A and B are shown apart, each in its own frame.
Chain A
Amino acid sequence: MDIVRAPIEMEASKLPSLTVGEVYVDTPRMTTRNVNVFYGDKMAIDNVTLDIAEKQVISLIGPSGCGKSTFLRCLNRMNDTIESCRVEGQIKLDDQNIYDPHIDVVPLRARVGMVFQKPNPFPKSIYDNVAYGPRIHGLAGHKDELDSIVEASLRRAGLWGEVANRLDQSGTSLSGGQQQRLCIARAIAVSPEVILMDEPCSALDPIATARIEELIFELREEFTIVIVTHSMQQAARVSNRTAYFHLGRLVEVGGTSEIFTNPHHELTNSYITGRFG
């Protein structure tokens, strides 16, 4: 058989002008409307409109450089740290425009927590890692309260049993999977409403990955979760909805089972079935 690979540039002509599938939901926690993101002159996100439903997991998938991570980082303004980055359009958390100039980014990030690709615990004790957020936001009135926040967060992250008797050890002494669960515990310790996860399992082995996925599955009862992943299986396993990004556009969004069994757009199908990317 002849293999003729279509370069991704050629795929640009196939991009839909409108996202395929239902971008709106009945109970949105976050809404984005016509969002454009630029790095300098380069457009990284092109007119993305998407609702993020409350207490659901939505996966953002797509080939490298498709803008899914950029989009994720817009949701808690982590892009602010990049000087050349400019965001247009409207992103709302509940009814508040998070790019409103009057909005303080500190409480925003307390409401929209984040877990990163590489487990990045602070080089401090396990306890201090989890207690850091509550401390800086003044969530705990006294030591006992802080203790209970730490314990509850570690329990919810499924890590309490493994670290209960060594809370004073360094967070970096844990295994990769444990470190990532510690980072999740750290994120949920400030009781966020939304948790953003940027390829949280890409540095982990399959067992650790399975535990994180199980954790995400449990957390969706309490939190709204947006997860960027390169693993389609992972998106299929943990999410309610899946959004496919391509060259900065949101090509298709829909129920995860629908996207993975019967995608409607040609690009989505090509990506999911492994025809490029």
Chain B
Amino acid sequence: MESSPHTSSAFDQDLYEMSEKVRSLANLVERQLKAVTQSLSTLEDKGLDKLIRRDKKVDKLESEIIEQGVQVIALRAPLAEDLRRVLVIQKIATILERMGDYARNTANRTKVILAEGPEAVPVTNLQQMAELTCEMLVDVMAAFDNVDAEMAIKVRNGDVKVDKLHTKLHRDVVKSAQNNPDQIVANVHLLFIAKNFERIGDYATGIAEQVYFLANGTFVDEFRPKADKTSWNA
């Protein structure tokens, strides 16, 4: 964590707790993503309902972190590095909560796909994409733990792969929908799921940018590489 402790040990305790909470939130979201990925890749319902219910916990943890952040700002008046840490943790918590929302949304859609008949949906690239975003989340949280801006930048640049996979998947799904017009509902949902994972990847880069700010006190100024071409596809 920090170079040396604060004169006020309670302040250290507050910052430590906040960091721990955002870590456990990240772990929870990671678990959600893994669970939904498993159901998707096997095309079987592996506790999707439980997953959906668990999203409440994500929301709760997020609001707890925000609340504690407000308290720390009010009571300890953090400055410089400390101020950045509090703000960054709050922001990461919000991003993680959004990721959790996408996981739940994906679970809902997966249920529909499973109900509609999952034979005709191309999930191979999807599984890879999901695993990739999950990996990004794990890496970016490691970067956060070590306040490692370099690692954060690496994660951020890794989003290109997700984008590329998304473009590929997009094409696959469109093709599959054309070939199986009766499976249109499942394919549409699959399209949205693909979009969800693409967004999750974007959010992971968002966290990476926060980690960069935490480490350097400045924002990443270079333009983020993008490879999501779906918007220009037919």
- A contacts B directly (C-beta below 8 A): yes
Residues of B within 8 A of A263 (CB): 80
Residue of A nearest to B85 (CB): A273
Given A260-B80, A272-B79: A266 touches B3 (CB 8 Å cut-off)? yes
Q: Does B233 contact A (CB under 8 A)?
A: no
Contacts of B11 in A (CB 8 A): 274
Residues of chain A lying within 8 A (CB to CB) of residue B192: none
- Chain B residue with Cβ nearest A1: B12
**Residues of chain B in range 7-41 having any CB-CB distance to chain A below 8 Å:** 7-9, 11-13, 16
CA distance A84 to B4 in the complex (A): 38
| B171 contacts chain A at the CB level, 8 A cutoff | no
Stretch from A2-10, A43-51, A161-169, A211-219 at the B interface: A2-10
Q: Could you tell me if A3 and B5 are in contact, using CB atoms closer than 8 angstroms?
A: yes
Report the Cα distance A216→B2, complex, angstroms.
35
Bound Cα distance from A6 to B6, whole angstroms: 10
Q: Is B218 an interface residue (CB 8 A)?
A: yes
Interface 1/0 per residue, B82-97 and A, CB below 8 Å: 1110000000000000
Q: Does chain A have a CB within 8 A of B78?
A: yes
Known: A1-B12, A1-B13, A261-B217. A273 touches B81 (CB 8 A): yes
Compute the total of residue contacts between A and B using a CB distance below 8 Å. 59
Give how many A residues have a beta carbon under 8 Å from the other chain's beta carbons.
Answer: 22
> A206 to chain B: closest CB distance in Å?
13
| CB–CB B79/A6 < 8 A | no
Q: How far is the CB of A181 from chain B (nearest CB, A)?
A: 26
Partner of A1 from B3, B9, B80, B84 at Cβ < 8 Å: B9
Q: Which residues of B contact A270 (CB under 8 A)?
A: 3-4
Residue of B nearest to A264 (CB): B217
- The distance in angstroms between the C-alpha atoms of A260 and B84, with both chains bound, is 11
Q: A273 vs B217: C-alpha distance in the bound complex, in angstroms?
A: 14
Q: Which of A6, A260, A262 contacts B218 (CB 8 A)?
A: A262
Interface on chain A toward B: helix, strand, loop, or mixed SS?
A: loop
> Given the complex, which residues of A lie within 8 Å of B79, measured CB to CB?
232, 236, 260-261, 272-274
**Chain B 58-82 interface mask (CB, 8 Å, partner A; 1/0):** 0000000000000000000111111
Q: Answer yes or no: A269 CB below 8 A from chain B CBs.
A: yes
**Distance, CA A260 to CA B13, complexed state (A):** 22
Q: Which residues of chain A in 184-240 are interfacial with respect to chain B, using CB atoms and an 8 Å cutoff?
A: 232-233, 236
Given contacts A261-B217, A262-B217, A266-B3, contact A273 B9 (CB under 8 A): no
Contact-size category for B:
20 to 34
Q: Which residues of chain B come closer than 8 Å to A232, judged between CB atoms? A: 79
Compute how far the CA of A147 lies from the CA of B8 in the bound complex, rounded to whole angstroms: 52
Contact with B along A1-45 (1 / 0, CB 8 A): 111111000000000000000000000000000000000000000
CB-CB contacts below 8 Å: A251-274 with B: 260-263, 266, 269-270, 272-274
Chain B residues 103-152 with CB under 8 Å of chain A are: none
Interface string of B203-231 (1 = CB under 8 A from A): 00000000000001110000000000000
Task: Determine whether the beta carbon of B8 is less than 8 Å from that of A274.
Answer: yes
By a CB distance below 8 angstroms, the chain A residues around B9 are 1, 3
Find chain B residues with CB under 8 A from A236 CB: 79
B77 and A233 within 8 A (CB): yes
Contacts of A266 in B (CB 8 A): 3
A276 to B7, CA, bound (A): 6
Q: Shortest CB–CB separation between residue A259 and chain B, in angstroms?
A: 8
Do B78 and A273 touch (CB < 8 A)?
yes
B16 adjacent to A1 (CB under 8 Å): yes
Asked whether A6 lies within 8 Å of B7 as measured between CB atoms, the reply is no
Q: How far is the CA of A274 from the CA of B84 in the complex (A)?
A: 14
Q: Which of these, A2, A233, A275, contacts B6 with CB under 8 Å?
A: A275
Given A1-B16, A269-B81, A274-B217 contact (CB < 8 Å): no
What are 25 A-B pairs with beta-carbon distances under 8 A? A1-B5, A1-B9, A1-B16, A5-B4, A5-B5, A5-B7, A6-B4, A233-B77, A260-B80, A261-B80, A261-B217, A262-B80, A262-B216, A262-B218, A266-B3, A272-B79, A273-B80, A274-B7, A274-B11, A274-B82, A275-B2, A275-B5, A275-B7, A276-B7, A277-B7
Other contacts beyond A270-B4, A275-B7, A276-B4: 15, CB < 8 A: A1-B9, A1-B16, A2-B5, A4-B5, A5-B4, A5-B5, A262-B216, A262-B217, A273-B78, A273-B79, A273-B81, A274-B79, A274-B82, A275-B3, A276-B7
Closest 6 CB pairs of A and B: A262-B217, A273-B82, A272-B79, A272-B80, A3-B5, A275-B4
